């Protein structure tokens, strides 16, 4: 019952032996045998000698390097707590994960206070830099930071004017670490 | 005790099956929208719906495990699932079944991939006609696969009972209540590992050994049906991906 590439495999199926292949994605090694751990199509790479499964349905959990969107739930002087509501490129979440944005990861330049970076209820785009809850986040890159914010005074949406956020109703500027993907522009 | 015979003289059970014959089993995968993975099983007249949520953040947080995911099962019977109305309050039996189902499934799941998260398995028995724990375990392992959670193997489960002095495969409610013994087993076929083995009633050692053989054969039949269901579901979702 030797399997060949493009075969549909499911958990427990034997894909080969470790003398022959390295265990790749969606597989595990059990007593010298490589077995599938997920449902998908088999990928036998004869060049790199890797047996992997191109997984057809994958769990949705933040992993190091993922871009996540979250809502800021708490801002302290040195950190902000973020409720992660979605992971870009992965299945929608059924729950929420907690993330933390530390001041040292907020921007490339010196930041005096997290209150200059974000505020409660902002929607932010961040990169995950640790592998478990509370996930440590970073917004240092240009494309990362606040992607939607509301006015602290009146609750209207803030719009991007130049590189600053402004409330058109109250005519006040607000300080944020703004992402280059900010949703509203003047 | 038994007023009518449960097995006729030519070896046919009161629902028309032979003594080593399974009921008609139908698995359906991916039936719920708001869960990460789901499965529905019709196992004769037993009907069970399973939803899996997770891996997701563990609440309350002090119960989270630092090195692996916490698996929780919630076995619940609908009030209309049995002949007499069942109180909706969780019973002693439901709590116990939640525990054994959780322990039957955990060896198959790679919990160490998801530290500090929890995987919740919700099992709703809509109609009960015996072997609900076996049907629940078999369907739950499909729901876990549907959730995309890495697993060592599928878990297949079946029960053997002793009725009218004979060993029978896949016990239904009447045989369970009026028979002499009931023995459910959960089994990981490609690892050849038993994850659940329970027994009530009394059987001899020789009958026990024969039961184990019957259970393995039964589990392999359930396993084959599980594989068919996964393959069918996988093909459907593949083609719908192409359309999108």
Distance CA B220, CA B224 (A): 6
Distance CA B60, CA B55 (A): 14
Task: Say if CB B100 and CB B137 are below 8 A apart.
Answer: no
Q: Which pLDDT score, from 0 to 100, does residue B234 have?
A: 84
Give the SS3 label for residue A44.
strand
By the CB < 8 Å criterion, does A98 face chain B?
yes
Nearest to A148 by CA among A113, A174, A110: A174
Task: Say if CB A173 and CB A151 are below 8 A apart.
Answer: no
Distance CA B139, CA B143 (A): 6
Map out the domains of chain A with their CATH numbers: 8-55 (2.40.50.100), 67-174 (2.40.50.140)
Annotated domain spans of chain B: 25-84+94-238
By the CB < 8 Å criterion, does B238 face chain A?
yes
Q: Which pLDDT score, from 0 to 100, does residue A165 have?
A: 95
Give the CA radius of gyration of chain B.
18
pLDDT confidence bin for B242, thresholds 50/70/90: low
Q: Which pLDDT score, from 0 to 100, does residue B244 have?
A: 42
Residue of B nearest to A83 (CA): B57
Nearest to B69 by CA among B120, B114, B106: B114
Task: Say if CB B143 and CB B52 are below 8 A apart.
Answer: yes
Q: Can you read off the two tokens belonging to residue B134?
A: 């076996």
Residues of B in contact with A133 (CB under 8 A): 57-58, 64, 116-117
Task: Say if CB B119 and CB B70 are below 8 A apart.
Answer: yes
Domain B25-84+94-238, second-level architecture: 2-Layer Sandwich (3.30)
State whether A59 and B146 contact (CB < 8 Å): no
- pLDDT beneath 70, residues of chain A: 1-2
State whether A97 and B56 contact (CB < 8 Å): yes
Residues of B in contact with A39 (CB under 8 A): 145, 230, 234
Q: Which pLDDT score, from 0 to 100, does residue B5 have?
A: 83
- The residue to which tokens 């409660």 are assigned: A120
By the CB < 8 Å criterion, does A81 face chain B?
no
Q: Can you read off the two tokens belonging to residue A129?
A: 């830099």
State whether A61 and B117 contact (CB < 8 Å): yes
pLDDT confidence bin for B243, thresholds 50/70/90: very low
Q: In this model, does residue B116 exceed pLDDT 50?
A: yes
Calculate how close chain A gets to B144, using CA atoms only, in Å: 10
Q: Which residues are B162's β-sheet partners? A: B167, B181
Calculate how close chain A gets to B182, using CA atoms only, in Å: 28
State whether B188 and A56 contact (CB < 8 Å): no
pLDDT confidence bin for B2, thresholds 50/70/90: very low
Continuous H helices in A25-100: none
Residues contacting B6, CB < 8 A, separation 6+:
B13, B14, B163, B164, B174, B175, B178, B179
Q: Mutate which of A3, A11, A38 to test chain B, going by most B C-beta atoms within 10 A?
A: A11
**B203-217 residue pLDDT tens:** 999 999 999 999 999
How many residues are recorded in chain B?
Answer: 244
| Residues of A (3-32) whose Cβ lies below 8 Å from B | 8, 10-14, 26, 28, 30
Reported ipTM? 0.89
Structure letter (DSSP) for residue B17:
-
Phi then psi dihedrals of residue A57, to 5 deg:
-145, 120
CA atoms within 13 A on the CB side of A129: 14
**A87-140 residue pLDDT tens:** 999 999 988 999 999 999 999 999 999 999 999 999 999 999 999 889 999 999
**B153-184 residue pLDDT tens:** 999 999 999 999 999 999 999 999 999 999 99
State whether B36 and A91 contact (CB < 8 Å): yes
Q: Can you read off the two tokens belonging to residue B241?
A: 């991906």
Structure letter (DSSP) for residue A152:
T
Residue A66 backbone zone (phi > 0: left; psi -120 to 50: alpha; other: beta): beta
Query: Largest Cα–Cα distance of chain A, in whole Å?
Result: 72
By the CB < 8 Å criterion, does A63 face chain B?
no
Residue of A nearest to B149 (CA): A59
**B90-100 residue pLDDT tens:** 999 999 999 99
Nearest to A106 by CA among A84, A86, A129, A83: A129
- The residue to which tokens 């060049």 are assigned: A47
Q: In this model, does residue B3 exceed pLDDT 70?
A: no
């Amino acid at each position: 019952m030797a399997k060949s590439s493009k075969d549909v495999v499911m958990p427990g199926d034997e894909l080969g032996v470790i003398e022959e292949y390295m265990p790749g994605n969606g597989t595990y090694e059990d007593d010298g045998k490589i077995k599938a751990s997920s449902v998908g199509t088999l990928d036998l790479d004869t060049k790199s000698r890797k047996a992997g499964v191109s997984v057809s349905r994958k769990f949705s959990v933040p992993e190091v390097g993922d871009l996540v969107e979250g809502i800021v739930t708490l801002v302290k002087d040195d950190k902000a707590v973020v409720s992660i509501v979605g992971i870009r490129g992965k299945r929608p979440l059924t729950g929420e994960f907690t993330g933390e944005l530390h001041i040292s990861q907020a921007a490339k330049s010196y930041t005096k206070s997290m209150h200059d970076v974000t505020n409660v209820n902002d929607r932010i785009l961040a990169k995950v830099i640790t592998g478990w809850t509370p996930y440590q986040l970073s917004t240092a890159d240009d494309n990362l930071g606040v992607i939607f914010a509301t006015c602290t005074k009146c609750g209207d949406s803030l719009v991007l004017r130049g590189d600053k956020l402004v409330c058109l109703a109250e005519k006040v500027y607000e300080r944020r670490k703004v992402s280059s993907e900010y949703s509203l522009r003047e | 005790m038994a007023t009518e015979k449960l097995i006729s003289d030519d070896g046919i059970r009161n629902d028309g099956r032979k003594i080593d014959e399974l009921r008609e089993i139908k698995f359906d995968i991916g039936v719920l929208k708001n869960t990460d993975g789901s499965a529905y099983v019709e196992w004769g007249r037993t009907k069970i719906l399973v939803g899996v949520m997770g891996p997701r953040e563990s609440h309350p947080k002090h119960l989270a495990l630092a090195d692996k995911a916490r698996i929780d099962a919630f076995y619940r019977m609908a009030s209309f699932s049995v002949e007499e109305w069942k109180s909706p309050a969780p019973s002693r039996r439901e709590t116990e079944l939640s525990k054994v189902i959780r322990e039957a499934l955990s060896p198959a799941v790679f919990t160490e991939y998801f530290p500090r998260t929890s995987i919740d398995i919700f099992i709703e028995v809509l109609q009960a006609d015996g072997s609900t724990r076996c049907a629940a375990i078999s369907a739950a392992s499909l729901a876990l696969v549907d959730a995309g959670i890495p697993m060592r193997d599928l878990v297949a489960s079946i029960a053997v009972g002793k009725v009218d002095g004979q060993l029978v495969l896949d016990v239904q409610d009447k045989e369970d209540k009026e028979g002499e013994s009931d023995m459910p087993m959960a089994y990981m076929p490609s690892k050849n590992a038993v994850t659940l083995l329970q027994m009530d009633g009394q059987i001899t050692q020789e009958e026990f050994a024969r039961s184990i053989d019957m259970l393995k054969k039964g589990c392999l039949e359930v396993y084959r049906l599980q594989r068919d269901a996964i393959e069918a579901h996988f093909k459907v979702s593949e083609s719908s991906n192409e359309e999108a």
